[in-house]
Each structure stands twice: as structure tokens, then as C-alpha cells.
Chains A and B, each alone.
Chain A
Amino acid sequence: MSKINFLKPDKENINTFLYMGSFLFVISVIDVSLNSFFRLNITGFLPSSLSFVIPIILGFIGLHFIRIEHSGNKFLDQVNKNINTSNFNAILSLLIIFIIIKAIPPVLSWFVVDASFAGDSKDVCSGTGACWTYIKVWFRRFMYGMYPNAEQWRINLSFIALALLGSVGYFATEKFKKYLTLYYVVIYPFIAFLFIFFFISGGPIFFDFSYGIIAAVISIIIGFFVPSKFKFYYFIFVPITLYIALKYFIFYEELIELGKLDGLNWVETGAWGGLSLTFIISFFCLIFCFPIGMAFALGRRSDFPLIRYISIGFIEFWRGVPLITVLFMSAVMFPMFLPADFFIDKLVRCIIAISLFEAAYVAEVIRGGLQALPRGQYEAAKSLGMGYWRMHIFVILPQALKLVIPGIANTFLALVKDTPLIFVVGLLEIVGMLNLAKTNPEWLGFAMEGYVFAAIIFWIICYAMSKYSYNLEQKYKTER
């Protein structure tokens, strides 16, 4: 056995160093764990400040001993490479390990061990842990807002139906695959709209809006058969004419009354709320902001200077102001801009405001994709004799959109995270409901549980979305 230099662990005395190092390290971990789990302080005989740092010193010396390069022991090499490359790294690793050990007992006891789950009144919540009874009692309010309890099956049924209809893409056979885009872009939103209009609301609130949607859908479908020469003028005039015709000539009030589902009570949008409202708003804004954003992205790269400047103005305006002021505008300023007898529902105003706001961000993301395409793609499409729309629909946009999947996913994530802001106009989705429940005199003092609950829900939704977008990105990644 050769001489041992404790400042320089080497391979020759590997066993000595390994045993000493791991022993010291294990001692330090045991010390912290005992302290944390059983409130035992085995170094209590020392002065308090020394007792506090002793695990770090022991662990540090231990890690220093086992830091032997090319030891030949695979496990040891792996440990050294990952957490123990230098003195500085060793200290940081130790700190993180100790923090985790220290944090486990309080977190565990708050969440599970000392928490109360049973019962349905405040009395069971006397412990030091979380009061999940509070969440249990208020669960329906957090999910559905003020929506009447007896009618909540309507929301559930609609969401289940929409989820099933949304998953059609996974089960479609090859034969129907080519219609999927049409289905998702036109038909599915339309069905979703009908569900929410007739089923969740159960009443005549979105009237003018629904004429607009019907007019748009019909004119788009007919538009496929219009010769491309007239398409531009067709899309400028026909939808508006159709809208006016629908509103004033075809659907007069009695017909609407007939079309209403019988036996459903009308639930005004002010009573909607909770997590379901978050979903409804995110869903509609997502549908609307995408085409608007695409239009403005194309407008910003248009050859026509006037259209370009208008698009730039639109985009920069919405990107420059905070969403909260936009919602303020939709609440207090927008009604001033409409004829006195013309009333738009609060929720619809909200959806319009958020859609326009997010559309500006979507536009910038899509513009990034358009700019990233090499000029050759445009030139090749033009040389094949394609016009502007044909070139964009078949050549440019599919490639550009593929490039910007992460960016668009981020924008949609931001949209979901922005929905709680609708408290400004008095709509209460889940965060708003929490604040309402918090001030209920019977349930004072459980703010923490509520916020943790909402945070977990939002975290799951957002994390799942970001992972999904990552998968989508990988799926559509094509080699260049």
C-alpha cells in the first residue's frame, strides 16, 4: 500500500477513499434525514451554528474523497460525471439533496398526512394540514361557476361529445383523411358553436352572431365551386349579403322559436364560470384568432402598401397594449361605439377582445414562418403558374405552419394562461371563483388550498399542451 495523500484522492488507494468517502457522505445524509423526519439532532451537542453546517462539511469531504477520475468503477464514474465534477459542483449537489430531504416532510404532511378529506363542513379542518374538504364542498362551483346544479349535465355532455368529435382524426380511415382539414377547420367549430349556443346556453343570446357563422359557413362551402377568377369579389360581397338576407328575410323570430330545443332552461352567460368557462373561452379564441392572425400575417407581407400598413398598424397596436386594458376597453369603451339599441353579450365581447389580441401574436409567429421559407419556394410555385391564393394554400402555408408549430403552441398556452384576466369584466372562471369562495364568511382562511388546487389544474393543462406540441413538432419535422 502506497502513501495516502488525502488532498489528492488517486486510483491506487481507491478502496480506502471509496469507503471513507461514502461513509462520510452517508453519515451526512443520515444526519439531515433524522433531523428532517424525526426531529432528532445527532449533532446537538455541538454549538448550533456548527451543528447546522456539519452535514455539508462531512458530505463535502466525502464527495472530495470519491472524486477519482477513471477509477474503473462504472457506477462511481457515473456519479462523478453527473454530480461531482468539481468542489463547487459538489457543494451545490449537496445543498440540493439536503433541501429536497428537508422539504419532503412539511410538504407531505401538508398535502396528505395532516390534511383533512372527509366531511362536508369546516369543522373537520382543524389540523395543520390542507383542508381538501373545502375543495370538495366547492368543487361544483370551481368547475361550473354559478351554473345551476340541476343543469350541469349539459356542460358535461357537451364537453364529452366535443371531445369525442374532436378525436375523430385518430380513427379516420385513409379514405376520409383528406377531408379531415375541412372537418376541423369548418365543420367541427360549427358543431361546437351549435352545442354551446343551443345546449349550454339554451337560449337566444348569440343571435346575430349565429347568423354570421351560418352565413360564413355557407358561403365558404359554395365558394369552393366559384371559378377562381371571381373568388375575390365573391368573398367580399356574398357573405355580407347572405348575412343580411338571413337576418332580415329568412329567419324571422317565429322560426327561431321553433328551432329552439324544447325543455331547456336558458342560463345567462353571467352565470357561466369555473373551469368550464376557461375551456369555452380558450376554445373559441383559439378558433377565431388563428384565421385572423393568418390573414394579418399575409397582409403584412403583401405587395400592396396600404394593406401592409394597415396590417402593421393592427399588429403593433394589439401587441403594444396589455390584455387587461383591452378587456377594459371591451367592457367600458366598446358599448359606446355601438348603436344604442344594439347589445352584445359580455362573454361575446370578451371573446372578441381576446381573439383580436391573440391574433396579433399569432400573426407575428406565422410571419416568422413565412420569412423563414427560402425564396425558391415562392418562385417555384409561381413558375408553375399558380396564383397568389393557390400558391399560399398549397405550397407556402403548409410549410410555414409546420415551421411555427412551437411558436403557435406557445401563443395558445399564453391564451389559456390569460383567461383568468376576464375577472376585469366580471366573469368568474376558476381563479375568479376561488377569490369569491375565499371571501365566503363560512370558509375564511383556505386561500392556500384553493390556489394550490387551481395551480395544479392549470399546470397539468399547460404542461400537457406543451408536451403535445413538442410531439407534433417531432412528427412534422421533415429533413431539408
Chain B
Amino acid sequence: MDLKLQKIIPQLITVLVVVLVFGFFTYNAQINMENRGIDFGYGFLSQESSFDVQFSLIEYDGSHSYFRAYLVGLLNTILVSVIGIIIATILGVIVGVARLSPNYLINQFAAFYVEFFRNIPLLLQIFFWYFAALRALPLPQDADAILGVFFLTIKGLYVPAFIWENLNVFLYSIIAAIIAIVVIRIHARKVQETQGKQLPVFWISVGLIFIIPLLSFLIGGVSLSFEIPKLKQLATTSFKYEGGISLPPELIALTLSLALYTATFIAECVRAGIQGVGKGQKEAAASIGLNPNQVLKLVVMPQALRIIIPPTTNQYLNLTKNSSLAAAIAYPDLVLVFAGTALMQTGKAIEIVSITMLTYLSLSISISILMNWYNKKIAIKEK
């Protein structure tokens, strides 16, 4: 009895404290809102927003609702995160491998990169790229074309747009190619298990992924043309590019700094992962007659990935959360559009901040649930 009480009392006290604190907050919030004449509710989401956003992936202007403004912000956040993650991963893997290179110059160069970029606050890097580095770019009328089609100017990067005809046929052909590759892989494994023969799966796959989409161009009526941005004069000194896709400088500065910053952490994860595979594993693999490529593919990489992937996912999450720094350079992401402009207009502080936080929270919790599941799946099953 005494023991049971000892277990219950501390828990009760903790819960009581938590409930009291929350109760105190809600009570105050109610009184404050009554005093200021604000009513609580999410009805404002369907009201007309009447503000404009300078860069959005979906159609949006002032006549749309606040909810659509929220979607615009969310999509912009996701856009920055996805581009940033792709660049950061490529760069991070290269630098991480370079840090293990036997070449003294290369690994010192990689170490310098890592130490340099990760010890400077991200916000400072974003400001540097946006206010200092990108401002040194030429005006639209003075810009030279890069490779003939890209234009990097102070007003952003202009790239040619793809104009597809029968895009769906092309997509179907890619899906068909992927299915064919999967089938061939299964077949190849069966052949290897029953007859011990190895089929050149890799080259067959490469061939398929090129040939089938190519066929769709020749037979399926798919065609692709480019719309190259063209300089257009608005006034005597004002120029702009028309056609193609324009990426605003905010987006470039943000993705660049996020990628450069996060790549340093990913590089460290990759290095730790590769170093974490025991030397004995490689030697054992070599001694049973695997060639260096097979050692890497069948022995080192599966073990290294087990170490690399969890912290790297964490870095992806950090990158996504850090993309909220966009507010500092006025890139219209979730925080700027919703927790900034929409909050200023409606004054619904509690609702808007809670929605914003919940969005990020659900994003990161779903990823961490996925991560835990993956971790359990690949964990070494010890006897």
C-alpha cells in the first residue's frame, strides 16, 4: 500500500502542476481576448485574404482565401526544402567521401569546407548570399547567357521552360521502364539462385531507362521544346526577361545557404558511417573472393547506410525547419506568408501560430515515426 502511494503521489503532483499551468494560461487567454474584443476561431481561414504573394507555385492573388495563402506558404517551404535536400545530399556525400581520401590535399580541402561552413550561423550565411553576394550580379540587360540558355541576374535566375506534348505518354513510358527493370531484377536473382549465373542487370537497367522513353518520342508522339527566356525592354532603363521559368534571388540565396550549411553535417554523417564499418568486414569480404565493387556494394554500403541514414534524416528535418529563416530575406514561405502577413492582417495570434507550429510538428513527427520504423527494420538481428 505504502509502495503504491509512493508511486502515485509524484505522478499526481506532476500532472496537477501541468494542468494548473495550462489552466492558468487558458484562463488568462480567455480574459485577454474578451478584453480586446477578439474571438477565438478558425473561421477566418475561408475569408478573402486581400494580400499578394510575389512567388507562388499555385495560382494565388488577393481574392483567394487565407487557407490558400497557407497552402502557398507550405508549398514554397516544401520547394526550398526539397531542392536544398537534393543539393545538400549530393554535396555532403562528395565531401564526406573526400574527407576519407588518401590524397592529403583533397581531405584537407574537404575538412576546411566542413569546418568553415558549419561554424558560421546559418542566418549570417543567408544574409551574406542574399545581401552581399547576389547583389553583385549584373542587371538583366548586362547579363551574359550561361551555356546560351541560363541568365543569372540580380533579379534572379532565368532558366528555359520545358514545353511538353503528350507528357502523359512519356510518364507512362518511364513507369513501364521501371516496372521492366524490377521484373528483370527479380528474374536475375532467380537465375543466380538456381543456376549461379550473374546477368548484367546494371547495364540492362541503364539501357531500358533510356530506350523505352526514347521510343515514346519516336512512336508515342511525345515532343519536347524549350522556351528560352528573352530580354524585353519595359522602359528606357528597365528590362526584364520573358518566357521560361524565373527563380527569384531569395529562393537562390536560401537554397544555396541551406544546402552549403547542411552538407557539412551530412558529410560528417557519411564519414562516420563509412569509418564505422570494421576493417575486418572488408578483409573478410575480399577473402571470400568478392571483387572491390562487390565488397563496396554488398558488404560496406549496407552496413554504412545503417549508420548514415538515421542522422542524415535528422539533418533533412533540420534543413526543413531551418528553411523558416526565409522570413529574414522575405522569401514567401510558411512563416512569412502565414505567421507574418496573415497574422498582421487578422490579429489571430493564437490560431495562426498554433497552425504554423502544428504544421512543422506533424511534418517532423511523421518523419521520425517513419525513421523509427526503418531503424527497427534494418537493425542487426542478434541472436
Measured CB to CB, the residues of A under 8 A from B are 81-83, 85, 89, 92-93, 96-97, 232, 236, 303-307, 310, 316-317, 319-325, 328-329, 332-333, 335-340, 413, 416-421, 423-424, 431, 434-435, 438, 447-448, 451-452, 454-455, 458-459, 462-463, 466
Q: In the complex, which residue of chain A has the Cβ closest to the Cβ of B101?
A: A89
Q: In the complex, which residue of chain A has the Cβ closest to the Cβ of B129?
A: A451
Partner of A463 from B32, B119, B349 at Cβ < 8 Å: B119
CA–CA, A73 and B115, complex, Å: 34
B14 touches A322 (CB 8 A): no
Interface mask (B4-37 → A, CB under 8 Å = 1, otherwise 0): 0001001101110010000011101101110100
Q: In the complex, which residue of chain B has the Cβ closest to the Cβ of A455?
A: B120
- Asked if A421 meets B128 with Cβ closer than 8 Å, knowing A307-B14, A336-B29, the reply is no
- Kindly provide the distance from the CB of B127 to the nearest chain A CB, expressed in whole angstroms: 6
With most chain B CB atoms within 10 A of its CB, the pick from A85, A232, A304, A322 is A322
B364 touches A333 (CB 8 A): no
Question: Is B175 positioned at the interface, with any CB of A under 8 Å from its CB?
Answer: no
Question: Is B328 positioned at the interface, with any CB of A under 8 Å from its CB?
Answer: yes
Q: Which 9 A-B pairs have the closest CB atoms?
A: A462-B119, A82-B104, A322-B321, A320-B361, A337-B25, A322-B324, A320-B364, A448-B132, A417-B121
A89 touches B14 (CB 8 A): no
Question: Is B51 positioned at the interface, with any CB of A under 8 Å from its CB?
Answer: no
For A319, what are the chain B residues with a Cβ–Cβ distance below 8 Å? Answer: 364
Task: Give the residues from 116 to 171 in chain B that come closer than 8 angstroms, CB to CB, to chain A.
Answer: 116, 118-125, 127-128, 131-133, 135
A431 touches B105 (CB 8 A): no
Partner of B10 from A304, A424, A458 at Cβ < 8 Å: A304
Question: Is B284 positioned at the interface, with any CB of A under 8 Å from its CB?
Answer: no
For B325, what are the chain A residues with a Cβ–Cβ distance below 8 Å? Answer: 324, 421
CA–CA, A272 and B18, complex, Å: 34
With most chain A CB atoms within 10 A of its CB, the pick from B15, B327, B354, B368 is B327
For B361, what are the chain A residues with a Cβ–Cβ distance below 8 Å? Answer: 317, 320-321
Partner of A431 from B116, B124, B354 at Cβ < 8 Å: B124
B31 touches A340 (CB 8 A): yes
- Kindly provide the distance from the CB of B368 to the nearest chain A CB, expressed in whole angstroms: 8
CA–CA, A459 and B117, complex, Å: 9
A340 touches B35 (CB 8 A): yes
- Kindly provide the distance from the CB of B263 to the nearest chain A CB, expressed in whole angstroms: 16
Q: How large is the interface on B (under 10, 10 to 19, 20 to 34, 35 or more residues)?
A: 35 or more
B18 touches A310 (CB 8 A): yes
CA–CA, A306 and B12, complex, Å: 8
For B365, what are the chain A residues with a Cβ–Cβ distance below 8 Å? Answer: 316, 320
Q: In the complex, which residue of chain B has the Cβ closest to the Cβ of A329?
A: B353
- Asked if A89 meets B123 with Cβ closer than 8 Å, knowing A320-B364, A336-B32, the reply is no
Partner of B11 from A89, A304, A417, A420 at Cβ < 8 Å: A304
Q: In the complex, which residue of chain A has the Cβ closest to the Cβ of B351?
A: A333
A321 touches B321 (CB 8 A): yes
CA–CA, A423 and B327, complex, Å: 11
**Interface of A: prevailing SS:** helix
Partner of A324 from B109, B121, B335 at Cβ < 8 Å: B335
B321 touches A339 (CB 8 A): no
CA–CA, A337 and B124, complex, Å: 33
Question: Is B53 positioned at the interface, with any CB of A under 8 Å from its CB?
Answer: no
Q: In the complex, which residue of chain A has the Cβ closest to the Cβ of B32?
A: A336
For B354, what are the chain A residues with a Cβ–Cβ distance below 8 Å? Answer: 333
For B116, what are the chain A residues with a Cβ–Cβ distance below 8 Å? Answer: 459
Interface mask (B77-115 → A, CB under 8 Å = 1, otherwise 0): 000000000000000000000000111111001000001
A89 touches B106 (CB 8 A): yes
B357 touches A420 (CB 8 A): no
Partner of A328 from B31, B109, B135, B339 at Cβ < 8 Å: B339
B7 touches A304 (CB 8 A): yes
A466 touches B106 (CB 8 A): no
- Kindly provide the distance from the CB of A334 to the nearest chain B CB, expressed in whole angstroms: 9
B353 touches A333 (CB 8 A): yes
> What are 14 inter-chain pairs, A to B, with CB distance below 8 A?
A82-B104, A93-B103, A93-B106, A96-B105, A320-B360, A324-B324, A324-B335, A329-B353, A336-B29, A337-B32, A340-B28, A448-B128, A463-B115, A466-B119
A462 touches B120 (CB 8 A): yes
A420 touches B123 (CB 8 A): yes
A83 touches B364 (CB 8 A): no
- The A/B interface has a contact count, at CB < 8 Å, of 160
Question: Is B277 positioned at the interface, with any CB of A under 8 Å from its CB?
Answer: no
- Kindly provide the distance from the CB of B12 to the nearest chain A CB, expressed in whole angstroms: 8
- Kindly provide the distance from the CB of B313 to the nearest chain A CB, expressed in whole angstroms: 13
Q: Known pairs A92-B105, A303-B7. 8 more at Cβ < 8 A?
A: A83-B104, A93-B105, A93-B106, A236-B13, A328-B335, A337-B29, A338-B28, A424-B327
Question: Is B56 positioned at the interface, with any CB of A under 8 Å from its CB?
Answer: no
A321 touches B32 (CB 8 A): no
B132 touches A420 (CB 8 A): no
Question: Is B178 positioned at the interface, with any CB of A under 8 Å from its CB?
Answer: no
A447 touches B103 (CB 8 A): no
Question: Is B179 positioned at the interface, with any CB of A under 8 Å from its CB?
Answer: no
For B127, what are the chain A residues with a Cβ–Cβ distance below 8 Å? Answer: 431, 434-435, 447, 451
CA–CA, A92 and B115, complex, Å: 21
For A89, what are the chain B residues with a Cβ–Cβ distance below 8 Å? Answer: 101-103, 106
B28 touches A321 (CB 8 A): no
- Kindly provide the distance from the CB of B117 to the nearest chain A CB, expressed in whole angstroms: 10
For A96, what are the chain B residues with a Cβ–Cβ distance below 8 Å? Answer: 105-106, 109
B132 touches A310 (CB 8 A): no
- Asked if A325 meets B360 with Cβ closer than 8 Å, knowing A307-B11, A455-B128, the reply is yes
B350 touches A306 (CB 8 A): no
CA–CA, A71 and B208, complex, Å: 48
Question: Is B341 positioned at the interface, with any CB of A under 8 Å from its CB?
Answer: no
Partner of A306 from B15, B101, B115 at Cβ < 8 Å: B15
For A451, what are the chain B residues with a Cβ–Cβ distance below 8 Å? Answer: 124, 127-128, 131-132
Partner of B339 from A92, A305, A325, A417 at Cβ < 8 Å: A325
For B102, what are the chain A residues with a Cβ–Cβ distance below 8 Å? Answer: 81-82, 85, 89
B25 touches A454 (CB 8 A): no
For B335, what are the chain A residues with a Cβ–Cβ distance below 8 Å? Answer: 322, 324-325, 328
For A447, what are the chain B residues with a Cβ–Cβ distance below 8 Å? Answer: 127, 131-132, 135
- Kindly provide the distance from the CB of A428 to the nearest chain B CB, expressed in whole angstroms: 13
Interface mask (B303-341 → A, CB under 8 Å = 1, otherwise 0): 000000000000000000110110110000001000100
A83 touches B11 (CB 8 A): no
Question: Is B356 positioned at the interface, with any CB of A under 8 Å from its CB?
Answer: yes
Question: Is B343 positioned at the interface, with any CB of A under 8 Å from its CB?
Answer: yes
For B118, what are the chain A residues with a Cβ–Cβ distance below 8 Å? Answer: 462
- Kindly provide the distance from the CB of B87 to the nearest chain A CB, expressed in whole angstroms: 20
- Kindly provide the distance from the CB of A98 to the nearest chain B CB, expressed in whole angstroms: 11
CA–CA, A96 and B98, complex, Å: 13
- Kindly provide the distance from the CB of B378 to the nearest chain A CB, expressed in whole angstroms: 19
Q: In the complex, which residue of chain A has the Cβ closest to the Cβ of B128?
A: A451
- Kindly provide the distance from the CB of B325 to the nearest chain A CB, expressed in whole angstroms: 6
Q: In the complex, which residue of chain B has the Cβ closest to the Cβ of A424?
A: B327
